[in-house]
Amino acid sequence: KTTLEGQHFLTLQDFTKEEILFLLDYALELKEKQRSKGANHLLEGKTLGMIFEKSSTRTRVSFETGMFQLGGHALFLSKNDIHLGKGETIADTAKVLSRYVDGIMIRTFEHALIEELAENASIPIINGLTDDFHPCQVLADLLTIYEKKGNLEGNKLAFVGDGHNMANSLIIGCAMMGIDCSLAVPKGYEVKDAIMDKAKILAAQSGAVIEQSNDPKKAVENADIIYTDVWTSMGCEDEMDDRMQAFAKYQVNQELVQYAKDDYLFLHCLPAVRGQEMTTDIIDGPNSVVFDQAENRLHAQKAVMASVMGGN
Ligand code: CP
Ligand code: NVA
């Protein structure tokens, strides 16, 4: 039993550095046990409700598979299947589901919705992506960096792309864990001041250097990790044409990566659009670890579920 039992997992900043390190260690332990076929039915008899208001491949499959591997059950509830936000309030949905299931994972648009769900639920709520944050992804990213580099602190991560949910969660995660983080985003697509300010406060404690500019070369200079995300996130489809123009000079390609360290890691949360945010030779090249990173969603989220849903 950890102190995390019963807690929501809405953003990384709700946790301490020690708690994140605990989750990473626990994820490694569960990964090792799964590989050696050890039984791990930590959530036997428990159910996770999974609400999806946006599409998903990794989040849906890794949470559902993770619950199965932990001996529990997962319910897939798409926006077409439940009344949430249409015929029923968020508060009522939270109160009703709390009587049936032991945890809820939700992917939605506004971060305020997940906060309202959490305020009204008596079970843990896990953020499976909002417009503002994607903490499960960044937990898996930290696990990947730790496995590949042997440490978190001392690395420099360059994020080139949109100052949206991935950039927000990465800058918070890096700031907490002592990873220098340099963002390069087009004008008008920057991470909001409130999140930069929060990241800088966290960085002051860890010693990380956090910066944001409009200059991809500056961000990638001497980087250990290069990270990018789609130019058009879910919910922003109407802006696609403007975005293609705004992001044209923010592609991760051979010309840009020459400014990074030779052994840089290429990370991407996926799904990816080859030819847009990065060229095919980068994502499918020798420095790319995107599929190890995708696999780590499963292990990281098992650690989260087992901890907050009272399984360990
Ligand atoms: N990275 C990620 O969250 O992928 P999905 O949208 O497929 O869940
Ligand atoms: N920024 C992307 C991440 C997808 C995992 C989106 O929100 O669509």
Summarize pLDDT for 110-168 with one digit per residue, the tens: 999 999 999 999 999 999 999 999 999 999 999 999 999 999 999 999 999 999 999 99
- Identify whether 297 is a catalytic site residue: yes
Look at residue 132 and give its three-state secondary structure: coil
Given a cut of 50, whether residue 42 has pLDDT beyond it is yes
Residue located nearest, by CA, to atom 1 of ligand 2: 233
The CATH number covering residue 88 comes to 3.40.50.1370
User: Between 74 and 311, whose confidence is greater?
Assistant: 74
Find the mean pLDDT for residues 189-211: 98
Query: Cα-flanking dihedrals φ and ψ of residue 24, to 5°?
Result: -65, -45
User: Between 1 and 233, whose confidence is greater?
Assistant: 233
Share the mean pLDDT of the chain.
Answer: 96
The answer as to whether 3 is a domain residue is: no
Amino acid at 185: V
Same domain for 233 and 114: no
Same domain for 69 and 119: yes
Same domain for 285 and 141: yes
Sheet of strand 73-78, all strands in order from the earlier edge strand to the far edge? 73-78, 47-52, 103-107, 125-127
Q: Residue 312 — pLDDT band, cuts 50, 70, 90?
A: low
ipTM exceeding cut-off 0.85 for this assembly: yes
The answer as to whether 6 is a domain residue is: no
Q: Does 230 contact ligand 2 (Cβ within 6 A)?
A: yes
pTM score of the predicted model: 0.98
Given a cut of 80, whether residue 39 has pLDDT beyond it is no
Q: Residue 1 — pLDDT band, cuts 50, 70, 90?
A: very low
Look at residue 126 and give its three-state secondary structure: strand
Q: Does 57 contact ligand 1 (Cβ within 6 A)?
A: yes
Same domain for 271 and 141: yes
Question: Looking at residue 84, what is its pLDDT?
Answer: 86
Q: Which of 227, 229, 240 to mutate to test the pocket of ligand 2 (most atoms within 8 A of CB)?
A: 229
The answer as to whether 30 is a domain residue is: yes
Concatenated DSSP letters of 8-45: -BS-GGGS-HHHHHHHHHHHHHHHHHHHTT----TTTT
Catalytically annotated residue among 60, 243, 269, 293: 269
Residue 295 CB partners (closer than 8 Å, separation 6+) = none
Same domain for 40 and 168: no
The answer to whether the CB of 136 falls within 8 A of the CB of 59 is yes
Find the mean pLDDT for residues 220-246: 98
Same domain for 255 and 161: yes
Same domain for 237 and 100: no
Q: Residue 2 — pLDDT band, cuts 50, 70, 90?
A: low
Q: Does 270 contact ligand 1 (Cβ within 6 A)?
A: yes
Instruction: Residue 169: give the domain boundaries.
Output: 137-293
Q: Give how far Cα 123 sits from Cα of 32, 44, 49, 88, 117, Å.
A: 28, 16, 11, 19, 10
- Identify whether 174 is a catalytic site residue: no
The answer as to whether 147 is a domain residue is: yes
- Identify whether 299 is a catalytic site residue: no
Same domain for 175 and 188: yes
The answer as to whether 118 is a domain residue is: yes
Same domain for 21 and 123: yes
Query: Cα-flanking dihedrals φ and ψ of residue 51, to 5°?
Result: -100, 125
Give distance in angstroms: CA of 44 to centre of ligand 2. 31
The answer to whether the CB of 128 falls within 8 A of the CB of 56 is yes
Q: Which of 51, 53, 54, 56 to mutate to test the pocket of ligand 1 (most atoms within 8 A of CB)?
A: 56
- pLDDT tens, 50-67? 999 999 999 999 999 999
Classify burial at 32, counting beta carbons within 10 Å of its beta carbon; exposed 0-12, middle 13-18, buried 19 or more: exposed
Same domain for 107 and 95: yes
Give distance in angstroms: CA of 204 to centre of ligand 1. 31
Which of 305, 307, 290 shows the shortest CA–CA distance to 65?
Answer: 305
Q: Residue 37 — pLDDT band, cuts 50, 70, 90?
A: confident
The answer as to whether 281 is a domain residue is: yes
Catalytically annotated residue among 8, 60, 134, 164: 134
Same domain for 156 and 127: no
Q: DSSP letter at 146?
A: H
The answer as to whether 4 is a domain residue is: no
The answer as to whether 251 is a domain residue is: yes
Per the omega criterion (within 30 degrees of 0), is the bond before 271 cis? yes
Q: Residue 38 — pLDDT band, cuts 50, 70, 90?
A: confident
The answer to whether the CB of 50 falls within 8 A of the CB of 77 is yes
Q: How far is CA 27 from the centre of its chain?
A: 15
The total number of structural domains that make up the chain: 2
Find the mean pLDDT for residues 25-32: 97
Element (H, E) at 89: none
CA-based Rg of the chain, rounded to a whole angstrom?
A: 19
Per the omega criterion (within 30 degrees of 0), is the bond before 135 cis? no
The answer to whether the CB of 243 falls within 8 A of the CB of 232 is yes
Same domain for 248 and 219: yes
Residue 248 CB coordination number (10 Å): 11
Question: Which ligand 1 atom sits closest to the C-alpha of 62?
Answer: 8
Query: Cα-flanking dihedrals φ and ψ of residue 123, to 5°?
Result: -125, 160
Question: Which ligand 1 atom sits closest to the C-alpha of 61?
Answer: 8
